């Protein structure tokens, strides 16, 4: 299972929110590049970079931070937050993103999102399936949609999506443990049917202790995104380094 630390950006700074609430913003470092380099020094190879300003303003904002990290580390970066147009995507990839995550766009403008899969390939486009009470949330989690989570994932699975990040918003930033049962159901439901392409499910939200990681791997999660647990020293980078080396 891939270990994917998260860096969330507001005003060019590394922050964390609780349950996606911008009023809970806590700044952890004013220099995201320093954080990324520290991750890399401990054997981390992947990074989840979220443009929270972009998510709020509905267009890419912090691409300079992406460019800085991509050009000064070897991290493979998946970038999301506010990507709405073909131009946003060009900027993200030109700035060094290895993959992009589309969430709101996949709900609100399916044709554009499917066009991205066709243009860039399914390996480059991640479906962001973030949900509260199993309803997909959009616009930086500021809005609920009427989309039920698992059918939403299944529909895109049939259209070629292979990478899915699922965040249970009720768990995000709360350090109370991830949604094991939800992830298990998603993996079970998306593995049914001979014509189903298996998905790479990336768990996100609520990771609080190192012991949760092997459980997520056992369920079949392909990756896990870890945010506040690292910044609050609940999980050490040394623990993650040892886990990576042991695989």
190-246: pLDDT as tens digits: 987 645 568 999 999 999 999 999 999 999 999 999 999 999 999 999 999 999 999
pLDDT tens for residues 144-157? 677 999 999 999 99
pLDDT tens for residues 56-108? 898 999 999 999 999 999 999 999 998 999 999 999 999 999 999 999 899 99
Region 12-17 average pLDDT: 93
**For the domain with range 2-246, which CATH number is right: 3.20.20.70, 3.20.20.80, 3.40.640.10, 1.10.230.10?**
3.20.20.70
Give the residue numbers annotated as catalytic, written as ranges. 8, 130
Q: If you average pLDDT over every residue of the chain, what do you get?
A: 92
What was the pLDDT predicted at 142? 59
For 195, phi then psi, to 5°, come to -90, 0
């Amino acid at each position: 299972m891939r270990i994917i630390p998260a860096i969330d950006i507001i005003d060019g700074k590394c922050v964390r929110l609780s349950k996606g609430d911008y009023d809970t913003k806590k700044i952890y470092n004013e220099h995201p590049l320093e954080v990324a380099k520290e991750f890399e020094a401990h054997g981390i190879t992947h990074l989840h970079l979220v443009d929270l300003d972009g998510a709020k303003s509905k267009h890419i904002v912090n691409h300079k931070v992406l460019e800085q990290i991509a050009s000064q580390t070897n991290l493979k970066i998946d970038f999301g937050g506010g990507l709405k147009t073909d131009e946003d995507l060009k900027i993200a990839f030109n700035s060094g993103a290895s993959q992009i995550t589309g969430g709101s766009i996949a709900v609100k403008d399916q044709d554009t999102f499917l066009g991205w899969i066709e243009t860039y390939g399914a390996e480059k486009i991640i479906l962001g399936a973030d949900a509260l009470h199993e309803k997909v949330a959009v616009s930086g989690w500021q809005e609920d949609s009427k989309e039920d989570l698992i059918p939403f994932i299944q529909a895109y699975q049939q259209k070629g999506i292979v990478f899915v990040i699922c965040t249970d918003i009720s768990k995000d930033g709360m350090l109370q443990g991830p949604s094991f049962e939800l992830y298990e159901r998603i993996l079970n439901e998306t593995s049914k049917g001979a014509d189903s392409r298996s998905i790479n499910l990336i768990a996100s939200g609520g990771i609080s202790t190192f012991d949760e990681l092997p459980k997520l791997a056992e369920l079949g999660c392909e990756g896990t995104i870890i945010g506040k647990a690292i910044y609050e020293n609940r999980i050490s980078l040394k623990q993650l380094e040892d886990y990576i080396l042991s695989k």
